[in-house]
Structure 1
Amino acid sequence: MTATGTGYDARFRIWRGDAEGGELRDFTVEVHEGEVVLDIVHRLQATQAADLAVRWNCKAGKCGSCSAEINGRPRLMCMTRMSTFSREETITITPLRAFPVVRDLVTDVSFNYTKAREVPAFVPPQGLAPGEYRMQQVDVDRSQEFRKCIECFLCQDTCHVVRDHEENKAAFAGPRFLMRVAELDMHPLDAAESEGLDRKRTAQEEHGLGYCNITKCCTEVCPEGIKITDNALIPLKERAVDRKYDPLVWLGSKISRRRD
């Protein structure tokens, strides 16, 4: 390792390959003060590996495109500073493990778009036009936390229900989209129930809420600091259980069926 002015040479191991297979390859790349991992990947492309495939867009931690696993932890490359690591450390970059590899660091995250389409949209309240909606500030604040999601899918990648069990993907939406269900269920203006849509029931029966065992790994990797587990998944679980086992709800459903 050699120092060059304020810079130094760092050792990287980067996964190269495609859906057919691949391997980790070693590189030595110059690093300068204040740089992030994505800067180094771009320098590597410019000087040693022009064909290295990597997905990125804003380089500001807002588009979620440059997700990868850095030393085994799901991170945004544009928000991971090189100062996080010692100069002697070898930095390993691999694609998101939970999703199929397209090439090098690029993965096929279409699973997430499929799950997004399975979550029914907000149902506007009857009798109110857009612009006439009114909410308490506390309700705005609660939803605003969830709306900070940049869909980097790091929470989806680190969730062991998806990461370690491919067979679960058909039945489990993952933390990002269960958070969306929770947001809509908490929304004071969502009129889903008037349309016969029970979001708590669908969270359990269609989106796999029961698979989540609240390990908080999704919260730990969220670059926006959203408390996915504490503020979305646990409250949704509590409401789903209350709904399922509330004797008054049970009695009401029986009466409704008899009337039908």
Structure 2
Amino acid sequence: MTYQGRFKVWRGDAEGGGLVDYEVDVHEGEVVLDIVHRIQATTAPDLAVRWNCKAGKCGSCSAEINGRPRLMCMTRMSVFDPAETITVTPMRAFPVLRDLVTDVSYNYTKAREVPSFVPPPGVKAGEYRMMQEDVNRVQEFRKCIECFLCQNTCHVVRDHEENKQVFAGPRFLMRIAELDMHPLDAAEETGTDRKRGAREEHGLGYCNITKCCTEVCPEHIRITDNALIPLKERVVDRSYDPLVWLGNRIGRRSR
């Protein structure tokens, strides 16, 4: 089935812009990214859009479709009524470069601030051994495709520009949780306290677990339930549980 679809696409740059109306053919089985490409090919060759794989694995084509953060390549036109006007806008949490392309460098800055995996001493690469249960626990988080939709929908980032200096956002708090859960990570043995860092350097306390990040994740990672809440629990134990506090004090004194 082919029909004439109506679209409103945001056009502009850092100086400003607005929605522009387009009417374009929609064919059976197409996704929103197909339509954006058709608009480029037929009406607006200067329309800027970031994309790469068109298979939901590169995370490049993130945008907001009818106000909801989505991947354009994974949003099928069949989910919309043919009579509906589809609005496509850039991610709101990040500065616009042009049209649907935003500056997501904030995320790469935060990624560099997270201390990397610390190999266990005395164990060579290729000799790591883990229980399958531990592998399964952290493997979910490795499915992240860096689309930054969770970062975009997090109201701590989206609605409060000033928080970006002190808040890593759900994607990178999830990375900290993944490393903290990793049974072979030897960060603490080298003086890196991931729990303290999550609280004091990466703004874990700003997260109020609304689960909006989980709701928009195209990989269906349970960011809130399986990463952020467990990380919060461990941070609270480390910081406020009197028995843990006493044990840490005794441990430090005995060394």
TM-score norm. by structure 2 comes to 0.98
- 2:230 paired with 1:235: yes
Q: Which residue, out of 93, 97, 106, partners 2:101?
A: 106
Q: Which residue, out of 163, 179, 182, partners 1:184?
A: 179
Q: CA deviation at 1:247?
A: 2.1
Q: In the alignment, what sits opposite 1:26?
A: 21
Q: CA deviation at 1:197?
A: 1.1
Q: CA deviation at 1:161?
A: 0.3
- 2:80 paired with 1:77: no
- 2:216 paired with 1:221: yes
Matches of 1:250 and 1:234, distance apart in 2: 20
Moved more, 100-109 or 243-252: 243-252
Q: In the alignment, what sits opposite 1:166?
A: 161
Q: In the alignment, what sits opposite 1:119?
A: 114
Q: In the alignment, what sits opposite 1:144?
A: 139
Structure 2: which amino acid aligns with 1:13?
A: K
Matches of 2:253 and 2:29, distance apart in 1: 69
Q: Using the aligned pairs only, state the percent identity.
A: 81
Instruction: For 1:245-256, list aligned pairs within 5 A.
Output: 245-255=240-250
Q: Secondary structure at the match of 1:169?
A: helix
Structure 1: which amino acid aligns with 2:122?
A: G
Structure 2: which amino acid aligns with 1:227?
A: R
Q: Secondary structure at the match of 1:13?
A: strand
Q: Which residue, out of 3, 20, 45, partners 1:8?
A: 3
Instruction: For 1:43-82, list aligned pairs within 5 A.
Output: 43-82=38-77
Matches of 1:246 and 1:196, distance apart in 2: 21
CA-to-aligned-CA distance 1:65-113 (integer Å, 9 cap, x gap): 0000000000000000000100110000000000000000000000000
Q: CA deviation at 1:204?
A: 0.5
Structure 2: which amino acid aligns with 1:89?
A: E
Gaps of 5+ in 2: none
Gaps of 5+ in 1: 1-5
Q: CA deviation at 1:143?
A: 1.1
CA-to-aligned-CA distance 1:34-64 (integer Å, 9 cap, x gap): 0000000000000000000000000000000
Q: CA RMSD in A?
A: 1.2
Matches of 1:68 and 1:185, distance apart in 2: 31
Matches of 2:142 and 2:248, distance apart in 1: 33
Q: How many residues in Structure 1 have an aligned counterpart in Structure 2?
A: 255
Matches of 2:72 and 2:235, distance apart in 1: 37
Q: CA deviation at 1:250?
A: 2.1
